[in-house]
Chains A and B, each alone.
Chain A
């Protein structure tokens, strides 16, 4: 059986003593997530003192964001109140002083993919553009709780992608090298090291798909996805952004080739700038502005077990077995797999999914056979042909998109919000998102991220 002895001496001893190499993107030890310090009004800030005080007095916590009437005009209208729309609103206000902004959400905040994902965060992608982009997001995640005064429970427990074939081992070596060049902690490890990190894993040679090695990425991990959504909603609200829930965008008004307003279920708004942050629904919104996009929508399902004692530290992904698993801080095992096999806007779970998922999980960790599943659900993913997002302007003036997030947009929320806000505020396309422009499909300049994004999130 082929084993990888590469970097055997560089095997991680414990996850705690992680040393992050300085990267070309490091501009100092502390990169603030926002340029202007966050102003959460007194009485609404979370602290040990406020916890004690509320505990003693039984006082209610203030609403995390407020309700507003729909104004007739805004400087910027963001469609979609998921992580990307809210992060964009936050950075527009914090980094660029643009706060006359509305976020229009047809349902409740975080009701789309942002409230349904499995919260995996990592930066060990395959293309240099992808690595630089997602690494910036990891850096923003590392400081998010501190900077935005909200515990998002980001735990860097490590991300492990298993190889069951020589071909995938080869791609992993390639990825590890691309990652290292950019200063990302990423290496190929062998089955013995895998067994040390995950004792329950079956690394024997007599399974159907023996494990030959893994790509090990210590800075990867998981966060509390709802908390990430809520912290951006709270800080955007504090900066003066209007969050409109239960408000559906039904049309986009374009005059000549310039956006002039949006129609919603609560009335019309005039605005010179509309940003489409609707992920799975994004081609419907772009169609309203007359912009065609290379996106098709697929459901992605996930499932969670009852909580058990903590036993699984890293996030485990197996591309060949189409399955990934992590254990939440509460003890539940969260499972996911590949997208459903056909395009759809339906968010119903299927029996086929659960059957194949359970089978594959048991191949990796047979001792989980008695675990019980609690729930299964689905969310919508906006798939692009090259497994990379589309962020920036479109042929219609004032109409921007931050879409094409497929199965990997949770980890990108902070950086996508930051970069989209910069593109809108400055009218220039920032370096980090140059490779992700809409016109790359017509120019034939696709990015080659499939090898690192197709199943692995």
Chain B
């Protein structure tokens, strides 16, 4: 069970939020040759999956309905930071 400290709503039950994956740099599309397409596919499918703290995007669907950036430990589920999406804390 997660307790997420939403910067807009305060501490809320994790079930109010939707996880939408790790934040990874999006490739800049240069042309449409095989290498460019392969890079795009890697971005789509190859998610980082290490054990440790990672930055993720979540959505507070049952609250402020805003996107958030959350740093969470993938083994302990400890949350070290929550901030509005795109605004580094």
Chain A interface (Cβ < 8 Å from any Cβ of B)? 283-284, 287, 292-297, 341-346, 348, 350-352, 385, 441-442, 444
* A345, closest chain B residue (CB): B75
Partner of A283, one of B15, B19, B50: B50
Residues of B within 8 A of A344 (CB): 74-75, 77
**Cβ-based interface call for B81 (8 A):** no
Flag whether B65 is at the interface (Cβ < 8 A). Answer: no
Cβ-defined contact, B51 with A296, below 8 A: no
Question: Is there contact, CB below 8 Å, between B49 and A296?
Answer: yes
Residues of B within 8 A of A441 (CB): 41-42, 45-46
Extra contacts besides A296-B47, A350-B1 (14): CB < 8 Å: A283-B49, A283-B50, A284-B49, A284-B50, A287-B50, A292-B42, A293-B49, A294-B47, A295-B47, A296-B49, A297-B49, A343-B21, A352-B1, A441-B46
Residues B45 and A385 in contact, CB atoms below 8 Å apart? yes
Contact flag A284-B45 (CB < 8 Å), given A343-B74, A352-B1: no
B46–A345 contact, CB under 8 A? Answer: no
Quick one: given A345-B74, A346-B77, are A351 and B49 in contact (CB under 8 Å)? no
Q: Nearest Cβ distance between residue B4 and chain A, in whole angstroms?
A: 11
Given contacts A350-B1, A351-B1, A352-B1, contact A342 B49 (CB under 8 A): no
User: CA A351 – CA B18 in complex, angstroms?
Assistant: 17
B40 → chain A closest CB, angstroms: 10
Q: Are B46 and A292 in contact (CB under 8 A)?
A: yes
Bound together, the chains give a CA A225 to CA B83 distance in angstroms of: 44
A378–B51 alpha-carbon span in the complex (Å) = 17
* In the bound complex, CA of A296 to CA of B48 (Å): 7
> Which residue of chain A has its CB nearest to the CB of B75?
A345
A441 to B76, CA, bound (A): 30
State in angstroms the CA–CA spacing of A343 and B72 once bound together. 10
Contact B1 A444 (CB under 8 A): no
Q: Are A341 and B49 in contact (CB under 8 A)?
A: no
Within 8 Å of chain A (Cβ to Cβ): is B38? yes
- Choose among A283, A293, A294, A342 the residue with the greatest number of B CB atoms under 10 Å from its CB: A342
In the complex the two chains form, what is the Cα distance from A287 to B21 in whole Å? 19
CA distance A293 to B49 in the complex (A): 9
Q: How far is the CB of A109 from chain B (nearest CB, A)?
A: 22
User: How long is the Cα–Cα vector from A348 to B1 in the complex, in angstroms?
Assistant: 9
| 10 closest cross-chain pairs (CB), A and B | A342-B19, A294-B45, A283-B49, A345-B75, A441-B45, A296-B47, A292-B46, A296-B49, A442-B38, A294-B46
